[in-house]
Amino acid sequence: MKALAWMGKNKVEMVEVSKPKIMEPRDVILKITGSTVCGSDLHLLHGTVVELQKGDILGHEFCGVVDEVGSEVTKFKKGQRVVASFQIACGDCYYCKQKLSSQCEKTNSNTIENAMYGGRTAGMFGYSHFTGGFAGGQSEYTRVPYGDVNLLPLPDNVPDEAGLYLSDVLCTSWHAVVDTGVKKGDVVAIWGAGPIGQMAADFSLINGASRVIMIDQNWRLEYVKERYPNIDTLDFSALSKGESVTSKLKEMCNNRGPDVSIECAAGEYAKGWAHYFEMMLGLETDTSELINEMITSTRNFGRCGITGVYVGFTNHFNIGSLMERGIRLIGNGQAPVHLYWESLLKMIQDKQIDPLKMVSHRVRLEDLDKVYYKFEDKADGMQKVFVET
């Protein structure tokens, strides 16, 4: 079968590999019908997520049709249309019982050392050996462990193009908004106008925000202006001399700043474990400019959430502004998909949200390697793609 594999730093390739087989009684083999590329895949492309191995099959957002089921699968049968969660949860452990599935204790290597050196999450599809080395769904077939837990049936009135985004984007954006505590009347600033930021903006308004300001540059903001007329924008590349995102946001928000700020960009990320030792030895320092910008922009006693993916360590952190002004900084974590996907499916069915607003391109699986590079350059107005398989 065809699959998209990571072949080294900044290199992905379409490869021919054998079709996956049932390995455990709770496995489902899924025939993929749709997948997509996520901002997180760029962290993989860049090789900034550690423990990638040449030939790793990528893709953590996909939907499809059940092809084969293991002997202990009870909820699904061949031919059923489903969407997969990007994280692999066991369904039975301490966190899974609370549907905090991104922290599943069975598929997670959460040792004390891992927590100290930057933390890990549950197993994830197509996300390197850092999260378990599970093959991804940018392929014709994939193996879904704990199929009863990690697949959600798609009703006939929800097409693949809409249902697919329940695997990650919709759950992530909704989680960013509720976890950071957006409430009625809040002014919300969102860094990064990619699909995650766009849906977080939409969800903030649904949750009662009085105003949403998106920070990004150029065409991404044009896309937002066209499709989300109720959202204000701030182009960080068009600031005049002496202006900063922080000063502009204060100006736009009663000289105080937004009540809530959410990072959906990951302007800098992923230094890896080795970096920890480099810092300890005083060999390197780095900055977390975007996080500092978010902290200094937010009004006193406001809340900041980090949804953009960071791995490892950072330095030059503005702890003074955080402490003295009472900023609540929240790591939103990898979003626990299982907590939200059923209610979000209902929101799609009720037409409360329209995930198709994010989708700019439809492509075929065999062209996916080229799509990665376009997505990376943000060329061709590429936003969110639907990969037909």
Using the rule CB under 6 A, which residue among 266, 270, 295, 344 binds ligand NAD?
Answer: 266
Minimal distance, residue 307 CB to Zn ion, in Å: 11
Using the rule CB under 6 A, which residue among 118, 197, 272, 355 binds ligand NAD?
Answer: 197
Task: CB nearer to Zn ion: give 118 or 308.
Answer: 308
Residue 212 in contact with Zn ion, rule: CB under 5 A: no
Using the rule CB under 6 A, which residue among 47, 133, 159, 267 binds ligand NAD?
Answer: 267
SS3 string of the chain? CEEEEEEECCEEEEEECCCCCCCCCCCEEEEEEEECCCHHHHHHHCCCCCCCCCCEECCCCEEEEEEEECCCCCCCCCCCEEEECCEECCCCCHHHHCCCHHHCCCCCCCCHHHHHCCCCCCEEECCCHHHCCECCCCECEEEECCHHHHEEECCCCCCHHHHHHHHCHHHHHHHHHHHHCCCCCCEEEEECCCHHHHHHHHHHHHCCCCEEEEEECHHHHHHHHHHCCCCEEEEHHHCCCCCCHHHHHHHHCCCCCCCEEEECCCCCCCCHHHHHHHHHCCCCCCCCHHHHHHHHHCCCCCEEEECCCCCCCCCCCCHHHHHHCCCEEEECCCCCHHHHHHHHHHHHHCCCCCHHHHEEEEEEHHHHHHHHHHHHHCHHHCCEEEEEC
Residue 192 in contact with ligand NAD, rule: CB under 6 A: yes
Residue 35 in contact with Zn ion, rule: CB under 5 A: no
Residue 49 in contact with ligand NAD, rule: CB under 6 A: no
Site string for ligand NAD, 286-325 (x = CB under 6 A): ----x----------------xxx----------------
Using the rule CB under 5 A, which residue among 67, 160, 168, 259 binds Zn ion?
Answer: 168
Q: Which does 267 bind (CB under 5 to 8 A by kind): Zn ion, ligand NAD, none?
A: ligand NAD
Minimal distance, residue 210 CB to ligand NAD, in Å: 22
Using the rule CB under 6 A, which residue among 215, 224, 270, 294 binds ligand NAD?
Answer: 215
Residue 38 in contact with Zn ion, rule: CB under 5 A: yes
Chain residues binding Zn ion by CB under 5 A are 38, 40, 89-90, 93, 96, 104, 106, 168
Chain residues binding ligand NAD by CB under 6 A are 38-40, 42-43, 168, 172, 191-197, 215-217, 220, 236, 264-267, 290, 307-309, 332, 334-335
